[in-house]
Structure 1
Amino acid sequence: MTITATTTPQPTATAPDKRRPGVGAALRWEIVKLAAQIRSRALLAVALIIPPIVVAVLNGQQQPPSDTIYGRHVHDSGYAMPLLMLAWAAQWVLPLLAAVVAGDIFAAEDQHGTWKTLLTRSVSRTHIFWAKTLTAIGYNLLVLVVFAGGTIAAGMLIVGTQPLTGLTGQAIASGTALRLVVTAWATTIAPIIGFTALALLLSVRTRNPAFGIAAPVVIGFVMQLLGSVTGLDLTRKFLLTTPLEAWHGLFAQHPFTGPLATGLAVSAGWTIICLAGAYLSLRRRDITGG
Protein backbone atom coordinates (compact mmCIF):
# COMPACT_ATOMS: atom_id res chain seq x y z
CA MET A 1 0.00 0.00 0.00
CA THR A 2 1.46 3.25 -1.11
CA ILE A 3 0.87 6.27 1.02
CA THR A 4 1.05 9.53 -0.84
CA ALA A 5 1.98 12.48 1.28
CA THR A 6 0.05 15.62 0.53
CA THR A 7 1.08 19.04 1.60
CA THR A 8 -1.46 21.72 2.31
CA PRO A 9 -0.42 24.97 0.74
CA GLN A 10 0.19 27.60 3.35
CA PRO A 11 -1.41 30.98 2.76
CA THR A 12 1.11 33.55 1.83
CA ALA A 13 1.11 36.76 3.78
CA THR A 14 0.04 39.73 1.76
CA ALA A 15 2.33 42.66 2.10
CA PRO A 16 0.52 45.69 3.40
CA ASP A 17 -0.09 48.45 0.87
CA LYS A 18 2.34 51.13 1.90
CA ARG A 19 1.39 53.59 -0.79
CA ARG A 20 0.72 57.06 0.58
CA PRO A 21 -2.51 58.83 -0.25
CA GLY A 22 -1.98 61.13 -3.20
CA VAL A 23 -3.45 64.34 -4.51
CA GLY A 24 -6.78 62.61 -5.18
CA ALA A 25 -7.35 61.75 -1.53
CA ALA A 26 -6.35 65.22 -0.39
CA LEU A 27 -8.54 66.78 -3.08
CA ARG A 28 -11.59 64.81 -1.96
CA TRP A 29 -11.03 65.95 1.61
CA GLU A 30 -10.69 69.60 0.58
CA ILE A 31 -13.90 69.41 -1.46
CA VAL A 32 -15.76 67.89 1.51
CA LYS A 33 -14.49 70.68 3.78
CA LEU A 34 -15.43 73.37 1.27
CA ALA A 35 -18.90 71.94 0.70
CA ALA A 36 -19.52 72.00 4.46
CA GLN A 37 -18.76 75.71 4.74
CA ILE A 38 -21.77 78.02 4.94
CA ARG A 39 -19.80 80.78 3.24
CA SER A 40 -19.09 78.75 0.10
CA ARG A 41 -22.72 77.69 -0.23
CA ALA A 42 -23.94 81.22 0.43
CA LEU A 43 -21.67 82.64 -2.27
CA LEU A 44 -23.08 80.21 -4.81
CA ALA A 45 -26.60 81.20 -3.80
CA VAL A 46 -25.75 84.89 -4.15
CA ALA A 47 -24.23 84.29 -7.60
CA LEU A 48 -27.50 82.68 -8.66
CA ILE A 49 -29.98 85.05 -7.00
CA ILE A 50 -28.42 88.50 -7.47
CA PRO A 51 -28.26 88.61 -11.32
CA PRO A 52 -32.05 88.32 -11.88
CA ILE A 53 -32.66 91.00 -9.26
CA VAL A 54 -30.16 93.40 -10.82
CA VAL A 55 -31.51 92.76 -14.31
CA ALA A 56 -35.09 93.34 -13.15
CA VAL A 57 -34.14 96.59 -11.41
CA LEU A 58 -32.22 97.90 -14.45
CA ASN A 59 -35.06 96.92 -16.76
CA GLY A 60 -37.54 98.83 -14.59
CA GLN A 61 -35.51 102.05 -14.62
CA GLN A 62 -36.69 104.76 -16.98
CA GLN A 63 -33.17 106.14 -17.45
CA PRO A 64 -30.64 103.44 -18.38
CA PRO A 65 -27.01 103.76 -17.18
CA SER A 66 -25.90 105.23 -20.50
CA ASP A 67 -22.46 106.19 -19.19
CA THR A 68 -21.49 102.49 -18.97
CA ILE A 69 -20.66 100.21 -21.88
CA TYR A 70 -23.90 98.73 -23.21
CA GLY A 71 -25.85 100.67 -20.61
CA ARG A 72 -27.85 102.57 -23.21
CA HIS A 73 -29.02 99.31 -24.81
CA VAL A 74 -30.34 97.49 -21.74
CA HIS A 75 -33.94 98.15 -22.77
CA ASP A 76 -33.37 97.21 -26.39
CA SER A 77 -31.92 93.71 -26.06
CA GLY A 78 -31.61 91.11 -23.35
CA TYR A 79 -28.07 90.44 -24.53
CA ALA A 80 -26.97 93.92 -23.47
CA MET A 81 -27.72 93.13 -19.81
CA PRO A 82 -25.05 90.42 -19.33
CA LEU A 83 -22.48 92.59 -21.11
CA LEU A 84 -23.28 95.52 -18.83
CA MET A 85 -23.04 93.19 -15.83
CA LEU A 86 -19.73 91.81 -17.12
CA ALA A 87 -18.22 95.30 -17.46
CA TRP A 88 -19.44 96.20 -13.97
CA ALA A 89 -18.32 92.94 -12.37
CA ALA A 90 -14.82 93.25 -13.84
CA GLN A 91 -14.15 96.29 -11.65
CA TRP A 92 -14.25 94.51 -8.30
CA VAL A 93 -16.84 91.71 -8.20
CA LEU A 94 -14.86 89.11 -10.15
CA PRO A 95 -11.64 89.67 -8.12
CA LEU A 96 -13.72 89.34 -4.95
CA LEU A 97 -15.38 86.14 -6.13
CA ALA A 98 -11.95 84.74 -6.94
CA ALA A 99 -10.54 85.61 -3.51
CA VAL A 100 -13.33 84.59 -1.12
CA VAL A 101 -12.23 80.94 -1.00
CA ALA A 102 -8.68 81.15 -2.37
CA GLY A 103 -7.63 83.89 0.04
CA ASP A 104 -8.66 81.79 3.01
CA ILE A 105 -7.96 78.20 2.01
CA PHE A 106 -4.33 78.15 3.22
CA ALA A 107 -4.53 80.86 5.88
CA ALA A 108 -7.38 79.06 7.63
CA GLU A 109 -4.99 76.23 8.55
CA ASP A 110 -2.73 78.78 10.25
CA GLN A 111 -5.65 80.47 11.94
CA HIS A 112 -6.91 77.20 13.42
CA GLY A 113 -3.46 75.67 13.98
CA THR A 114 -4.25 72.54 11.99
CA TRP A 115 -1.18 72.22 9.77
CA LYS A 116 0.47 69.49 11.87
CA THR A 117 -2.77 67.53 12.04
CA LEU A 118 -3.20 67.83 8.28
CA LEU A 119 0.32 66.63 7.53
CA THR A 120 0.04 63.61 9.81
CA ARG A 121 -2.52 62.11 7.39
CA SER A 122 0.34 60.74 5.29
CA VAL A 123 0.00 63.41 2.64
CA SER A 124 2.87 65.65 1.64
CA ARG A 125 2.92 69.40 1.38
CA THR A 126 2.91 69.07 -2.38
CA HIS A 127 -0.27 66.98 -2.25
CA ILE A 128 -1.92 69.50 0.05
CA PHE A 129 -0.84 72.44 -2.08
CA TRP A 130 -2.27 71.06 -5.31
CA ALA A 131 -5.41 69.78 -3.62
CA LYS A 132 -6.17 73.21 -2.17
CA THR A 133 -5.20 74.96 -5.42
CA LEU A 134 -7.42 72.76 -7.58
CA THR A 135 -10.28 73.10 -5.09
CA ALA A 136 -10.07 76.89 -5.12
CA ILE A 137 -9.82 77.11 -8.92
CA GLY A 138 -12.64 74.62 -9.45
CA TYR A 139 -14.92 76.42 -7.01
CA ASN A 140 -14.22 79.82 -8.53
CA LEU A 141 -14.97 78.55 -12.02
CA LEU A 142 -18.23 77.06 -10.72
CA VAL A 143 -19.21 80.42 -9.20
CA LEU A 144 -18.33 82.13 -12.48
CA VAL A 145 -20.51 79.72 -14.49
CA VAL A 146 -23.44 80.19 -12.10
CA PHE A 147 -23.06 83.98 -12.11
CA ALA A 148 -22.71 84.22 -15.88
CA GLY A 149 -25.48 81.71 -16.56
CA GLY A 150 -27.88 83.49 -14.21
CA THR A 151 -27.10 86.86 -15.78
CA ILE A 152 -27.53 85.67 -19.38
CA ALA A 153 -30.72 83.76 -18.62
CA ALA A 154 -32.20 86.69 -16.69
CA GLY A 155 -31.47 89.10 -19.54
CA MET A 156 -33.11 86.84 -22.11
CA LEU A 157 -36.16 86.05 -19.97
CA ILE A 158 -36.82 89.53 -18.56
CA VAL A 159 -35.83 91.77 -21.49
CA GLY A 160 -35.99 89.44 -24.48
CA THR A 161 -33.89 88.03 -27.30
CA GLN A 162 -33.90 91.03 -29.61
CA PRO A 163 -30.90 91.60 -31.90
CA LEU A 164 -27.96 93.32 -30.24
CA THR A 165 -26.27 96.50 -31.38
CA GLY A 166 -22.52 96.05 -31.70
CA LEU A 167 -19.94 98.48 -30.37
CA THR A 168 -19.48 99.93 -33.86
CA GLY A 169 -23.22 100.25 -34.50
CA GLN A 170 -23.80 97.06 -36.48
CA ALA A 171 -26.82 94.83 -35.83
CA ILE A 172 -25.99 91.39 -34.41
CA ALA A 173 -28.59 88.66 -34.87
CA SER A 174 -30.00 86.94 -31.80
CA GLY A 175 -28.22 83.60 -32.27
CA THR A 176 -24.87 85.25 -32.97
CA ALA A 177 -25.35 87.65 -30.07
CA LEU A 178 -25.94 84.77 -27.64
CA ARG A 179 -22.79 83.01 -28.83
CA LEU A 180 -20.73 86.19 -28.48
CA VAL A 181 -22.10 86.95 -25.02
CA VAL A 182 -21.22 83.44 -23.80
CA THR A 183 -17.76 83.82 -25.35
CA ALA A 184 -17.31 87.21 -23.67
CA TRP A 185 -17.95 85.69 -20.26
CA ALA A 186 -15.69 82.74 -21.11
CA THR A 187 -12.78 85.13 -21.73
CA THR A 188 -12.78 85.93 -18.01
CA ILE A 189 -11.74 82.38 -17.10
CA ALA A 190 -8.00 83.01 -17.55
CA PRO A 191 -7.87 86.25 -15.46
CA ILE A 192 -10.12 84.66 -12.82
CA ILE A 193 -7.58 81.85 -12.48
CA GLY A 194 -4.87 84.52 -12.29
CA PHE A 195 -6.66 86.33 -9.45
CA THR A 196 -7.20 82.97 -7.75
CA ALA A 197 -3.45 82.30 -7.90
CA LEU A 198 -2.76 85.78 -6.51
CA ALA A 199 -5.15 85.15 -3.61
CA LEU A 200 -3.51 81.77 -2.95
CA LEU A 201 -0.10 83.41 -2.81
CA LEU A 202 -1.32 86.03 -0.33
CA SER A 203 -3.08 83.34 1.71
CA VAL A 204 0.15 81.36 2.04
CA ARG A 205 2.45 84.32 2.60
CA THR A 206 0.37 86.40 5.03
CA ARG A 207 -1.34 83.54 6.90
CA ASN A 208 -4.21 86.00 7.37
CA PRO A 209 -7.60 85.09 5.86
CA ALA A 210 -8.93 88.65 5.92
CA PHE A 211 -5.88 89.97 4.10
CA GLY A 212 -5.92 87.10 1.64
CA ILE A 213 -9.51 87.93 0.69
CA ALA A 214 -9.39 91.73 0.74
CA ALA A 215 -5.97 92.34 -0.80
CA PRO A 216 -6.75 90.92 -4.29
CA VAL A 217 -9.79 93.20 -4.48
CA VAL A 218 -7.71 96.24 -3.56
CA ILE A 219 -4.95 95.21 -5.97
CA GLY A 220 -7.52 94.74 -8.73
CA PHE A 221 -8.96 98.19 -8.06
CA VAL A 222 -5.49 99.77 -8.18
CA MET A 223 -4.86 97.98 -11.47
CA GLN A 224 -8.10 99.40 -12.81
CA LEU A 225 -6.93 102.90 -11.88
CA LEU A 226 -3.53 102.37 -13.48
CA GLY A 227 -5.20 101.04 -16.61
CA SER A 228 -7.22 104.23 -16.96
CA VAL A 229 -4.16 106.49 -16.81
CA THR A 230 -3.08 107.73 -20.23
CA GLY A 231 0.54 107.23 -21.21
CA LEU A 232 0.84 103.84 -19.48
CA ASP A 233 -0.14 101.68 -22.45
CA LEU A 234 2.80 99.30 -22.06
CA THR A 235 2.20 98.90 -18.34
CA ARG A 236 -1.50 98.40 -18.92
CA LYS A 237 -0.85 95.30 -21.05
CA PHE A 238 0.74 93.50 -18.10
CA LEU A 239 -2.04 94.24 -15.61
CA LEU A 240 -4.23 91.32 -14.61
CA THR A 241 -7.37 93.42 -14.99
CA THR A 242 -6.75 94.25 -18.66
CA PRO A 243 -7.77 90.77 -19.92
CA LEU A 244 -11.16 91.33 -18.29
CA GLU A 245 -11.84 93.92 -21.01
CA ALA A 246 -10.47 91.91 -23.94
CA TRP A 247 -13.97 90.82 -25.01
CA HIS A 248 -14.70 94.27 -26.48
CA GLY A 249 -13.07 93.31 -29.76
CA LEU A 250 -15.61 90.54 -30.32
CA PHE A 251 -18.42 93.08 -30.78
CA ALA A 252 -16.77 95.28 -33.40
CA GLN A 253 -17.87 95.39 -37.03
CA HIS A 254 -14.64 93.58 -37.89
CA PRO A 255 -13.86 91.47 -34.77
CA PHE A 256 -10.27 91.39 -33.54
CA THR A 257 -8.78 88.93 -31.08
CA GLY A 258 -5.32 90.37 -30.42
CA PRO A 259 -6.23 91.56 -26.89
CA LEU A 260 -7.61 88.10 -26.13
CA ALA A 261 -4.32 86.41 -27.03
CA THR A 262 -2.34 88.98 -25.05
CA GLY A 263 -4.68 88.66 -22.09
CA LEU A 264 -4.35 84.89 -22.10
CA ALA A 265 -0.54 85.15 -22.03
CA VAL A 266 -0.62 87.79 -19.26
CA SER A 267 -3.04 85.74 -17.17
CA ALA A 268 -0.89 82.64 -17.62
CA GLY A 269 2.18 84.58 -16.52
CA TRP A 270 0.48 85.87 -13.37
CA THR A 271 -0.84 82.38 -12.60
CA ILE A 272 2.53 80.65 -12.98
CA ILE A 273 4.45 83.25 -10.98
CA CYS A 274 1.92 83.39 -8.13
CA LEU A 275 1.51 79.62 -7.87
CA ALA A 276 5.28 79.11 -7.94
CA GLY A 277 5.71 81.69 -5.18
CA ALA A 278 2.95 80.11 -3.09
CA TYR A 279 4.35 76.61 -3.55
CA LEU A 280 7.91 77.56 -2.62
CA SER A 281 6.69 79.50 0.39
CA LEU A 282 4.67 76.53 1.63
CA ARG A 283 7.55 74.11 1.06
CA ARG A 284 9.95 76.24 3.12
CA ARG A 285 7.52 77.05 5.92
CA ASP A 286 8.18 75.98 9.49
CA ILE A 287 4.89 74.57 10.76
CA THR A 288 6.11 73.19 14.07
CA GLY A 289 4.08 75.81 15.85
CA GLY A 290 0.75 74.61 14.42
Structure 2
Amino acid sequence: MSSSETATGGGAGAEAAPPHPVPTANRARPAAGWSLLWSELSVLFRRWRTWAMLAALAAIPILIAIAVRLTGGARAGRGPAFLDQITANGLFVGFTALVVCVPLFLPLTVGVVAGDTIAGEASHGTLRYLVIAPAGRLRLLAVKYAGAAAFCIAGTLVVIVAGSAIGAILFPIGPVTLLSGTQVGPLDAFGRLLMIGAYVVVSLLGLCAIGLFFSTLTDVPVGAMAATIVLSVVSQVLDQLPQLEALHPWLFSHYWFGFADFLRDPVSWDAFGSNALLQLGYVAVFGALAVGRFTTKDILS
Protein backbone atom coordinates (compact mmCIF):
# COMPACT_ATOMS: atom_id res chain seq x y z
CA MET A 1 0.00 0.00 0.00
CA SER A 2 2.75 2.38 0.84
CA SER A 3 4.46 1.54 -2.41
CA SER A 4 1.17 2.25 -4.24
CA GLU A 5 0.83 5.60 -2.51
CA THR A 6 4.41 6.34 -3.36
CA ALA A 7 3.79 5.48 -6.99
CA THR A 8 0.60 7.56 -6.98
CA GLY A 9 2.37 10.48 -5.36
CA GLY A 10 5.17 10.20 -7.86
CA GLY A 11 2.63 10.25 -10.69
CA ALA A 12 0.90 13.34 -9.30
CA GLY A 13 4.22 15.07 -8.89
CA ALA A 14 5.14 14.21 -12.44
CA GLU A 15 1.87 15.72 -13.68
CA ALA A 16 2.24 18.89 -11.61
CA ALA A 17 5.80 19.59 -12.63
CA PRO A 18 6.17 21.20 -16.10
CA PRO A 19 8.01 18.96 -18.54
CA HIS A 20 11.55 20.00 -19.34
CA PRO A 21 11.25 20.20 -23.16
CA VAL A 22 8.62 23.01 -23.03
CA PRO A 23 10.85 25.88 -21.89
CA THR A 24 13.57 24.53 -24.14
CA ALA A 25 11.20 24.69 -27.11
CA ASN A 26 10.06 28.20 -26.17
CA ARG A 27 13.65 29.34 -26.09
CA ALA A 28 14.35 27.58 -29.37
CA ARG A 29 11.70 29.46 -31.35
CA PRO A 30 13.33 32.92 -31.17
CA ALA A 31 16.68 31.25 -31.78
CA ALA A 32 15.21 29.56 -34.85
CA GLY A 33 13.95 32.94 -36.09
CA TRP A 34 17.35 34.60 -35.75
CA SER A 35 19.00 31.59 -37.32
CA LEU A 36 16.59 31.79 -40.24
CA LEU A 37 17.27 35.52 -40.65
CA TRP A 38 21.01 34.97 -40.64
CA SER A 39 20.62 32.16 -43.16
CA GLU A 40 18.46 34.38 -45.40
CA LEU A 41 20.97 37.23 -45.36
CA SER A 42 23.83 34.82 -45.94
CA VAL A 43 22.14 33.26 -48.95
CA LEU A 44 21.07 36.64 -50.34
CA PHE A 45 24.52 38.22 -50.19
CA ARG A 46 26.31 35.11 -51.47
CA ARG A 47 24.39 35.09 -54.73
CA TRP A 48 26.16 36.27 -57.85
CA ARG A 49 22.96 38.02 -58.91
CA THR A 50 22.97 40.15 -55.77
CA TRP A 51 26.57 41.21 -56.26
CA ALA A 52 25.93 41.88 -59.96
CA MET A 53 23.09 44.25 -59.05
CA LEU A 54 25.19 45.99 -56.40
CA ALA A 55 28.03 46.33 -58.92
CA ALA A 56 25.61 47.85 -61.43
CA LEU A 57 24.43 50.35 -58.82
CA ALA A 58 28.05 51.23 -57.99
CA ALA A 59 28.80 51.73 -61.68
CA ILE A 60 26.19 54.50 -62.02
CA PRO A 61 27.98 57.18 -59.93
CA ILE A 62 31.30 56.07 -61.41
CA LEU A 63 30.01 56.55 -64.96
CA ILE A 64 28.49 59.92 -64.03
CA ALA A 65 31.79 61.14 -62.56
CA ILE A 66 33.86 59.92 -65.51
CA ALA A 67 31.46 61.49 -68.02
CA VAL A 68 31.57 64.85 -66.22
CA ARG A 69 35.35 64.66 -65.95
CA LEU A 70 35.81 63.93 -69.64
CA THR A 71 33.31 66.54 -70.87
CA GLY A 72 34.34 69.27 -68.44
CA GLY A 73 30.99 69.56 -66.69
CA ALA A 74 27.36 70.25 -67.52
CA ARG A 75 25.51 73.48 -68.14
CA ALA A 76 23.42 74.86 -65.31
CA GLY A 77 19.90 73.49 -65.42
CA ARG A 78 20.80 70.67 -67.80
CA GLY A 79 20.62 67.03 -66.74
CA PRO A 80 19.82 65.62 -63.28
CA ALA A 81 19.84 67.78 -60.17
CA PHE A 82 23.32 68.73 -58.86
CA LEU A 83 25.03 67.56 -62.07
CA ASP A 84 26.40 71.03 -62.81
CA GLN A 85 27.89 71.21 -59.28
CA ILE A 86 30.11 68.13 -59.57
CA THR A 87 33.18 69.82 -61.06
CA ALA A 88 33.30 72.26 -58.13
CA ASN A 89 32.75 69.63 -55.44
CA GLY A 90 33.05 65.86 -55.79
CA LEU A 91 30.51 65.24 -53.01
CA PHE A 92 27.78 66.11 -55.48
CA VAL A 93 28.49 62.87 -57.35
CA GLY A 94 26.73 60.99 -54.57
CA PHE A 95 23.78 63.41 -54.57
CA THR A 96 23.41 63.20 -58.35
CA ALA A 97 23.71 59.40 -58.36
CA LEU A 98 20.87 59.06 -55.85
CA VAL A 99 18.67 61.36 -57.96
CA VAL A 100 19.39 59.14 -60.99
CA CYS A 101 18.92 55.83 -59.14
CA VAL A 102 15.75 56.57 -57.18
CA PRO A 103 13.18 56.50 -60.02
CA LEU A 104 14.44 53.43 -61.89
CA PHE A 105 17.59 51.58 -60.87
CA LEU A 106 16.93 51.14 -57.15
CA PRO A 107 13.27 50.11 -57.64
CA LEU A 108 14.42 47.74 -60.40
CA THR A 109 16.89 45.90 -58.16
CA VAL A 110 14.59 45.97 -55.14
CA GLY A 111 11.79 44.56 -57.28
CA VAL A 112 14.02 41.67 -58.31
CA VAL A 113 14.93 40.83 -54.71
CA ALA A 114 11.43 41.31 -53.25
CA GLY A 115 9.74 39.40 -56.06
CA ASP A 116 12.04 36.45 -55.51
CA THR A 117 11.47 36.14 -51.75
CA ILE A 118 8.75 33.46 -51.70
CA ALA A 119 8.35 32.58 -55.37
CA GLY A 120 12.06 31.85 -55.68
CA GLU A 121 11.91 29.29 -52.89
CA ALA A 122 8.83 27.69 -54.47
CA SER A 123 10.50 27.46 -57.88
CA HIS A 124 13.52 25.71 -56.33
CA GLY A 125 11.32 23.28 -54.36
CA THR A 126 12.62 24.45 -50.97
CA LEU A 127 9.58 26.36 -49.71
CA ARG A 128 7.81 23.34 -48.20
CA TYR A 129 10.88 22.56 -46.10
CA LEU A 130 11.04 26.14 -44.80
CA VAL A 131 7.39 26.30 -43.74
CA ILE A 132 7.71 23.20 -41.56
CA ALA A 133 10.74 24.64 -39.76
CA PRO A 134 10.26 25.79 -36.13
CA ALA A 135 10.02 29.39 -37.31
CA GLY A 136 6.63 28.90 -39.02
CA ARG A 137 5.03 30.76 -41.91
CA LEU A 138 4.59 34.17 -40.28
CA ARG A 139 8.18 34.31 -39.13
CA LEU A 140 9.34 33.14 -42.56
CA LEU A 141 7.46 36.05 -44.17
CA ALA A 142 9.01 38.49 -41.70
CA VAL A 143 12.49 37.13 -42.41
CA LYS A 144 11.97 37.36 -46.16
CA TYR A 145 10.81 40.97 -45.83
CA ALA A 146 13.78 41.78 -43.60
CA GLY A 147 16.10 40.37 -46.26
CA ALA A 148 14.56 42.61 -48.93
CA ALA A 149 14.85 45.62 -46.61
CA ALA A 150 18.51 44.75 -45.97
CA PHE A 151 19.13 44.84 -49.71
CA CYS A 152 17.54 48.32 -49.83
CA ILE A 153 20.09 49.48 -47.26
CA ALA A 154 22.98 47.78 -49.05
CA GLY A 155 22.02 49.14 -52.47
CA THR A 156 21.63 52.70 -51.22
CA LEU A 157 24.92 52.58 -49.32
CA VAL A 158 26.73 51.27 -52.40
CA VAL A 159 25.53 54.27 -54.43
CA ILE A 160 26.56 56.72 -51.69
CA VAL A 161 29.96 55.18 -51.00
CA ALA A 162 30.85 54.68 -54.66
CA GLY A 163 29.74 58.22 -55.51
CA SER A 164 31.66 59.81 -52.65
CA ALA A 165 34.80 57.78 -53.39
CA ILE A 166 34.93 58.50 -57.13
CA GLY A 167 34.00 62.12 -56.47
CA ALA A 168 36.92 62.52 -54.05
CA ILE A 169 39.29 60.91 -56.57
CA LEU A 170 38.33 62.94 -59.65
CA PHE A 171 37.21 66.27 -58.19
CA PRO A 172 38.05 68.61 -55.32
CA ILE A 173 36.20 68.27 -52.02
CA GLY A 174 35.12 71.36 -50.17
CA PRO A 175 32.27 73.14 -48.38
CA VAL A 176 28.78 72.60 -49.78
CA THR A 177 26.26 75.39 -50.25
CA LEU A 178 22.80 74.18 -49.22
CA LEU A 179 19.55 75.06 -50.98
CA SER A 180 18.86 77.59 -48.24
CA GLY A 181 22.14 79.39 -49.01
CA THR A 182 23.98 78.21 -45.89
CA GLN A 183 27.45 76.72 -46.38
CA VAL A 184 28.46 73.58 -44.49
CA GLY A 185 31.69 71.62 -44.29
CA PRO A 186 32.39 68.36 -46.14
CA LEU A 187 31.75 66.21 -43.05
CA ASP A 188 28.37 67.83 -42.45
CA ALA A 189 27.54 67.47 -46.15
CA PHE A 190 28.40 63.75 -46.08
CA GLY A 191 26.20 63.35 -42.99
CA ARG A 192 23.32 64.92 -44.91
CA LEU A 193 24.03 62.53 -47.78
CA LEU A 194 23.64 59.62 -45.36
CA MET A 195 20.37 61.14 -44.13
CA ILE A 196 19.16 61.26 -47.72
CA GLY A 197 20.19 57.62 -48.03
CA ALA A 198 18.06 56.76 -45.00
CA TYR A 199 15.16 58.64 -46.61
CA VAL A 200 15.59 56.60 -49.80
CA VAL A 201 15.62 53.32 -47.84
CA VAL A 202 12.36 54.26 -46.10
CA SER A 203 10.89 55.18 -49.49
CA LEU A 204 11.54 51.65 -50.80
CA LEU A 205 10.02 49.77 -47.86
CA GLY A 206 6.51 50.00 -49.31
CA LEU A 207 7.77 48.56 -52.60
CA CYS A 208 9.36 45.68 -50.68
CA ALA A 209 5.98 44.83 -49.14
CA ILE A 210 4.32 44.96 -52.56
CA GLY A 211 6.96 42.64 -54.00
CA LEU A 212 6.56 40.25 -51.06
CA PHE A 213 2.82 40.07 -51.68
CA PHE A 214 3.23 39.43 -55.41
CA SER A 215 5.78 36.75 -54.55
CA THR A 216 3.16 34.85 -52.53
CA LEU A 217 0.80 34.76 -55.51
CA THR A 218 2.96 32.72 -57.85
CA ASP A 219 5.63 30.06 -58.04
CA VAL A 220 7.31 31.89 -60.93
CA PRO A 221 9.71 34.52 -59.51
CA VAL A 222 10.07 36.37 -62.84
CA GLY A 223 6.34 37.13 -62.80
CA ALA A 224 6.48 38.60 -59.29
CA MET A 225 9.60 40.62 -60.16
CA ALA A 226 8.02 42.02 -63.32
CA ALA A 227 4.76 42.92 -61.56
CA THR A 228 6.63 44.78 -58.80
CA ILE A 229 8.82 46.72 -61.21
CA VAL A 230 5.94 47.59 -63.54
CA LEU A 231 3.86 48.83 -60.61
CA SER A 232 6.69 51.14 -59.50
CA VAL A 233 6.82 52.62 -63.01
CA VAL A 234 3.03 52.97 -63.18
CA SER A 235 2.96 54.74 -59.81
CA GLN A 236 5.52 57.29 -60.99
CA VAL A 237 3.68 57.86 -64.28
CA LEU A 238 0.39 58.44 -62.47
CA ASP A 239 2.16 60.84 -60.12
CA GLN A 240 3.05 63.03 -63.12
CA LEU A 241 -0.51 63.37 -64.42
CA PRO A 242 -2.15 66.58 -63.14
CA GLN A 243 -5.59 65.11 -63.83
CA LEU A 244 -4.98 62.63 -61.00
CA GLU A 245 -3.76 65.16 -58.47
CA ALA A 246 -6.19 63.90 -55.82
CA LEU A 247 -4.62 60.45 -56.10
CA HIS A 248 -0.99 61.61 -55.83
CA PRO A 249 -0.65 61.67 -52.01
CA TRP A 250 -1.70 57.99 -51.92
CA LEU A 251 0.88 56.76 -54.42
CA PHE A 252 3.85 55.05 -52.76
CA SER A 253 6.28 56.92 -55.04
CA HIS A 254 4.84 60.38 -54.37
CA TYR A 255 7.42 61.42 -51.75
CA TRP A 256 10.44 59.69 -53.27
CA PHE A 257 12.13 63.00 -54.11
CA GLY A 258 11.21 64.80 -50.89
CA PHE A 259 14.77 64.42 -49.58
CA ALA A 260 15.65 67.94 -50.78
CA ASP A 261 14.51 69.11 -47.33
CA PHE A 262 17.70 67.57 -45.91
CA LEU A 263 19.69 70.13 -47.92
CA ARG A 264 18.18 73.07 -46.09
CA ASP A 265 19.18 74.78 -42.86
CA PRO A 266 17.50 73.97 -40.58
CA VAL A 267 16.52 70.51 -41.77
CA SER A 268 12.79 70.07 -42.38
CA TRP A 269 11.35 66.67 -41.38
CA ASP A 270 7.86 67.19 -42.81
CA ALA A 271 8.45 65.26 -46.04
CA PHE A 272 10.22 62.47 -44.15
CA GLY A 273 7.31 62.10 -41.74
CA SER A 274 4.74 62.04 -44.55
CA ASN A 275 6.82 59.56 -46.53
CA ALA A 276 7.39 57.27 -43.55
CA LEU A 277 3.67 57.28 -42.70
CA LEU A 278 2.74 56.48 -46.30
CA GLN A 279 5.26 53.64 -46.56
CA LEU A 280 4.09 52.26 -43.22
CA GLY A 281 0.57 52.15 -44.60
CA TYR A 282 1.71 50.21 -47.67
CA VAL A 283 3.73 47.83 -45.48
CA ALA A 284 0.68 47.23 -43.26
CA VAL A 285 -1.76 46.70 -46.15
CA PHE A 286 0.40 44.57 -48.42
CA GLY A 287 1.98 42.81 -45.46
CA ALA A 288 -1.49 41.78 -44.28
CA LEU A 289 -2.38 40.64 -47.81
CA ALA A 290 0.83 38.61 -47.97
CA VAL A 291 0.09 37.01 -44.59
CA GLY A 292 -3.48 36.19 -45.60
CA ARG A 293 -2.36 34.65 -48.85
CA PHE A 294 0.66 32.77 -47.53
CA THR A 295 -0.95 31.32 -44.41
CA THR A 296 -3.79 29.81 -46.47
CA LYS A 297 -1.69 28.72 -49.43
CA ASP A 298 -1.11 25.05 -50.18
CA ILE A 299 2.64 24.56 -50.36
CA LEU A 300 3.36 21.88 -52.93
CA SER A 301 6.97 22.71 -53.79
TM-score by length of 1: 0.83
Cα distance in 1 for partners of 2:143, 2:264 equals 41
In structure 2, what is the equivalent of residue 86 of structure 1? 98
* CA RMSD of superposed structures (Å): 2.6
Instruction: Mark the runs of 5 or more structure 1 residues left unpaired by the alignment.
Output: 1-13
Tell me the CA shift for residue 237 of structure 1. 1.9
Cα distance in 2 for partners of 1:181, 1:118 equals 39
Pair 1:104 & 2:101 matched = no
In structure 1, what is the equivalent of residue 14 of structure 2? none
In structure 2, what is the equivalent of residue 5 of structure 1? none
SS of 1:129's partner is: helix
Q: Could you report, residue by residue, the CA deviation over 1:181-234 in whole angstroms, capped at 9, with x for unpaired residues? A: 222222112112221111111111233211222222222222222222235444
Pair 1:176 & 2:158 matched = no
In structure 2, what is the equivalent of residue 25 of structure 1? 35
Instruction: Mark the runs of 5 or more structure 2 residues left unpaired by the alignment.
Output: 1-18
Identity of aligned residues (%): 21
Structure 1 pair 100–274 and aligned structure 2 pair: CA distance change class (3 A): same
In structure 2, what is the equivalent of residue 52 of structure 1? 62
In structure 2, what is the equivalent of residue 240 of structure 1? 252
Q: Could you report, residue by residue, the CA deviation over 1:222-257 in whole angstroms, capped at 9, with x for unpaired residues? A: 222222223544422222222221111233466533
Structure 1 pair 234–167 and aligned structure 2 pair: CA distance change class (3 A): farther
Aligned residues: 276
In structure 1, what is the equivalent of residue 3 of structure 2? none
Cα distance in 1 for partners of 2:79, 2:158 equals 27
SS of 1:242's partner is: coil
Q: What is the one-letter code of the residue matched to 2:293?
A: S
Pairing 1:243-262 to 2, within 5 Å after superposition:
243-252=255-264, 255-262=267-274
| Structure that is richer in helix per residue | 2
Pair 1:194 & 2:206 matched = yes
Q: Could you report, residue by residue, the CA deviation over 1:43-64 in whole angstroms, capped at 9, with x for unpaired residues? A: 2333345432332223322352
In structure 2, what is the equivalent of residue 273 of structure 1? 285
Query: Does the 8 Å contact 1:105/1:203 carry over to 2?
Result: yes
Tell me the CA shift for residue 36 of structure 1. 3.7
Structure 1 runs, 4 residues or longer, greater than 6 Å off:
none
Greater Cα offset, 92-101 or 63-72:
63-72
Aligned counterpart for 1:38 among listed residues 24, 38, 48: 48
Cα distance in 2 for partners of 1:123, 1:185 equals 32
